Amino acid sequence: MTQTMATLLLFLVVVIVVPVLGRCPPPANETDYQKFLRQHYNKCGMGTKDCPSVMSERCLSKPCKAKNSFIINATTKQIQDVCGKGGTPVGGDLRQSSSPFQVLTCKNKGSESPPCKFQGVKSSRYIVIACNAENYPVHFDESIIP
């Protein structure tokens, strides 16, 4: 391989492959409920120092979100129950949990452009979520300290 061909190949890798690898598209055919879980639920729990890696893995850091909350140390059934007997209506399709959940809120302390500088704060909070017609959570609206 000549020097010119090697240079051209390197150029193509940098121009074509690197930008594709850097993108973070959401999964294809993701339902609103699956998107809710990806953006706001962590079944393995999280520590306050996990925000940067989890936000990146979940495609929530391009551009850097100002803030994102994760429900931790709960099951999907417990969260889904807020859409039924485990929650009370608060207007429209929003429901507030009857019991508090552990919530980790990741806040960006840097700019909107990567690299993001997320810091986490963990607390026990009532969650307010929107539910669809099938009683699945589809939007995390807010959380309230008891």
For residues 16 and 32, give the distance between their C-alpha atoms in angstroms, rounded to a whole number. Answer: 31
Q: Give catalytic status of residue 106 as yes or no.
A: no
Burial of 36 (0-12, 13-18, 19+ CB in 10 A): buried
Q: Determine the longest span between alpha carbons in the chain, in angstroms.
A: 70
In this structure, the chain runs to a length of 146
Q: What is the pLDDT of residue 62?
A: 83
Whether the Cβ atoms of residue 65 and residue 55 lie closer than 8 Å to each other: yes
- Compute mean pLDDT per 10 residues along the chain, 146 residues long, and list them: 46 37 69 97 90 93 91 97 98 96 95 91 97 97 82
**pTM for the model:** 0.79
One of 62, 65, 122, 139 is an active-site residue; which one?
139
Q: What is the pLDDT of residue 28?
A: 82
For residues 45 and 116, give the distance between their C-alpha atoms in angstroms, rounded to a whole number. Answer: 21
**Domains of the chain, first to last:** 32-144 (3.10.130.10)
One of 36, 40, 106, 143 is an active-site residue; which one?
40
Q: Would you state the structure tokens that stand for residue 61, as one six-digit string?
A: 């850091």
Q: Give catalytic status of residue 114 as yes or no.
A: no
Strands 67-72 and 41-42: parallel
